[in-house]
Amino acid sequence: MLSVCNLRRAMTCALVILGTSLLLHSSVNAQDAAAAVAPAVADAAPAVADASPPPLSPGDNAFQMICTALVLFMTLPGLFLFYGGLVRKKNVLSVIAQCMGIAGMVTVLWWLCGYSLSFAGTGAIFGNLDNALLKGIDPRVTGAGSGVISDAIWVMFQLTFAIITPALIIGAIAERMKFSAVMLFVLVWMFAVYFPFAHMVWGSTGLMCGPLNGDAAIKAIDFAGGTVVHMTSGWSALVLCIILGKRRGYGKESMTPHSMVMCAIGTGMLWVGWYGFNAGSALAADGIAVNAFATTTLAAGTAGFVWGMMEWILRGKPSVLGFCSGIVAGLVVITPGCGFVTMNSAVVIGVLAAVVPYFAVAYLKKMLGYDD
């Protein structure tokens, strides 16, 4: 088994080698391109006026920047407060450090090649390195994500999704993995799972991109991340939970959440940040964004209320943890369809988002013996 020092050295070397390779790749491409620029300038001159990018929409860009900040707010500090309140007091700082470490490392990976592997190229499963080191991303240009917002804002908005996705896994492995092991796992996981899924579902030529790819093998319609974010992190968390097994002393000693106040505050931050997550996925301040905002509110509120009422009926009283769990469940379930479903449908979705997970957590998890 690798020591902690060896894990750190391996991660550092991997990032240095990756960054150096991409810098050399970019330099060589730049030299080749420079040699071809001179003879092309004269031919391109007449087309300059016609090739000018569409103007940025100030209102839509302001909206998108706010949504980007809100999604980051979901992770830092929303998610680590939510998880931090659920673990024992001695492990709170460990959870916070893991979430913050993931945020930093994923940001560097996104800049190096993550964005390019997720959205560049014409492959069905994998992107390419055309936009490595954010080559070709101009804050003054639109078109990468939509025709009204800056390409740079599109890249940053997608970065916040890439940050929160692996951080969601932390809840299933809390108190069982060292910081170095978590960082190494996330490093590998981003390349093996997140980048390919982001390209397949949201890339214009992706294998599962129903809205943009008419030849998609699976015509998935994922408005804000039900597949790319919640399914990838959820299934990965379940697998890790099974592999790692239960915490030492689980079922024999008390492992109650140390601070439901912290958990409730984190839940509130997640709910607020989720508006950036869902409404922001419209990529414009339009009617679709408004619908996503409304359905997100209704699903979360309904699910939180129904979960609490089920506890009241079946266990004699509702709990703060129950309300928090219901709200988060409602937010998760409405995410992939929030821009498409009606407000009445969102209420039905909220009810189901409470009932099904409630019985899974209260009975199925115990029956299977999982420590999540």
The confidence score (pLDDT) of residue 17 equals 54
The confidence score (pLDDT) of residue 252 equals 74
Name residues of the chain where pLDDT drops below 70. 1-54, 251
The confidence score (pLDDT) of residue 6 equals 55
Q: Does domain 55-266 have CATH number 1.10.3430.10?
A: yes
The confidence score (pLDDT) of residue 34 equals 40
The confidence score (pLDDT) of residue 253 equals 77
Distance CA 135, CA 76 (A): 28
Distances (CA, A) of 310 to 256, 271, 333, 347, 367: 21, 21, 18, 16, 20
Which residue ranges make up each domain of the chain?
A: 55-266, 286-367
